[in-house]
Structure formats: C-alpha cells, structure tokens
Amino acid sequence: MTDANQLAVDASEREGPSPPGHWLASAWAVAAFQLDRLMTRPRLAMALVGALFPPAVMFAAIRTAPLDRNMAVVMIYALIPEALCVLGLLVTMCPVVADELERGTWIHVAIRPGGRRSLLLGTFAAAVLWTSSVAVTGLLLTLFIAQLTQPIGLAAMFIALIVLSCIGRAALFALPAVILPKRALIASVGVAFLVEYMAGFLPAVVNQVTVSLRLRSLLVEWMGWRQQLPVEMMLFVDMYPASIQIIAVVILVMVLLTVACFILNRRQFPPSAEN
C-alpha cells in the first residue's frame, strides 16, 4: 500500500516540463488518430469528389472553348489552392474541438499534460496532410487533362501553393474552431469570406495579414507575370520576392497557432457543453 510519504516522492517525480520532442510525439499521436478518423467511407468519398471536381471543371472548360496557358493556370489556381483547399480545411480543421465535445473525448484529451496543444497541433497536421493529398491528386489529374506545356514546373509550383494555402488556412480556421467550437463551420466560412476574399483584395494594410495576398503574389512571381501585369492589378499583389511571401505565411501560421493554443488552454467547457 502506498503511504503519504511515498505519494509525495511520486509527486516530485512528476514535476518539470516534458523532455524536448515529447510534445511533438504527442501531437503526432493525435494526428495519426485524426487521420484514422478521416479514413471512413463517407470521408473518402468526399475526398474523391473533391479531387475529381477540378479536373471535371477543366475538362468542361476545354470542351467549351480553347484555353490559353495563362488562363488555364489562373483557373487551376482558383479551383485548387483557393477553393478546394479552403473547402477541405473547413471539413477537417473546423471541428477540432466540437468533434471532441460531441464524442465525449474532450475531457480525456484535455486532462493530459499538453493535451489541448497536442489536439490542436495534431489536428492541424492531419488537416493539412489530408487536404494537401486531395488537392495534389486533383492537381495532377487537372494538369493531365489540361495538357499544358512544362507540366512538371507547373506541378511543383502548384504543390508549393497548395501546401502554403493549407497551412495558412488551417491556422486561420483554428481560431474560430477554438473560440466558437459549436459554430466553427459558420464562423470559418465567414472568416474565409471576410478576411481572405474581401480584406485580402483591399489595397490596404489589412491585406498584408491574409494568405490570399501571399498566394497571389507568389503565383504572379513564379509565373513571371509581374512585368506584364496591368497597373490596376498591381494593387492586388505584393511586390516583395517569393522568399518574403513564404516567410510571411510561416510567421502568420505561427502567430495564429500560438494564439489558438493560448485560447484553447484557457477554455472551460461546462459539463452541459458536451451534450
């Protein structure tokens, strides 16, 4: 039988922060768990529909009228790093807390040391991996149908845009997911519309903190369109080099995830929230 002194010894052994890397392992454990959850038939069917949507649109467009290369690239950009990635992340990132509350697993995760942070970062990783995989599959099919010149270069560029879009938007949707877990989907649609697609096109300081500005600017630079861009279109892109755009997205992601982790660590859910 454990006596009180033994208990105090045990307690002292439980002090101190987790060794470095343990929190990454914890986050990865959550990511693996979330990816397993995404491997259900309905979710896989959703992924298939998502991946087939851009090539279907491209096929229909080509059949209707011949597309020049630049127009096809703009269309792929609108369909995949913008529309498909945003939709995929709405499905995978928004329910990060709401799902756990509904399934009764929130308390079991939240009571672990670093459990809330691991839940957020693990779900973030799973959402990015799942959505990127769907988007890259859709991209490859679309490029195959579009039959554009230099397909490998285009594929590399779009994969980079997809990854940046996914990490940026997943971090963005993490905020409504932790602030308004039960209305995260609606709130995230609002955030996507207001922040990404309205503020992102305002030629003002506010668009500097949007992912859409960075992605557009990267597309313009990597396609070599900067010199040909009409003056009025210059307002909608940032003229700094690609490295700055990528660093801006990474900083934005780190800030958003830090804020989301801080909020989630402070959140209290009364027992009634789990019904």
Q: Which is nearer to other proteins, 14 or 63 (CB)?
A: 14
Q: Which is nearer to other proteins, 224 or 271 (CB)?
A: 271
Least Cβ distance, residue 75 to other proteins (angstroms): 38
The Cα-based distances of 118 to 112, 147, 207 in angstroms read 9, 42, 30
Least Cβ distance, residue 251 to other proteins (angstroms): 28
CB atoms within 10 A of CB 220: 21
Alpha carbon distance, N-terminus to C-terminus of the chain: 39
Give 62: exposed, middle or buried? Use CB within 10 Å, 0-12, 13-18, 19+: middle
Least Cβ distance, residue 182 to other proteins (angstroms): 14
Q: How far apart are CA 233 and CA 210, in angstroms?
A: 17
- Give the number of residues written for the chain: 275
Q: Which is nearer to other proteins, 23 or 59 (CB)?
A: 23
Least Cβ distance, residue 261 to other proteins (angstroms): 14
Least Cβ distance, residue 12 to other proteins (angstroms): 6
Q: Which is nearer to other proteins, 100 or 196 (CB)?
A: 100
Nearest to 29 by CA among 100, 150, 117, 99: 117
Q: Under the rule (CB under 8 A), what is the footprint of other proteins?
A: 1-8, 10-12, 14-19, 22-23, 25-26, 28-30, 32-33, 36-37, 40, 103-115, 118, 268-271, 274
Q: Which is nearer to other proteins, 1 or 65 (CB)?
A: 1
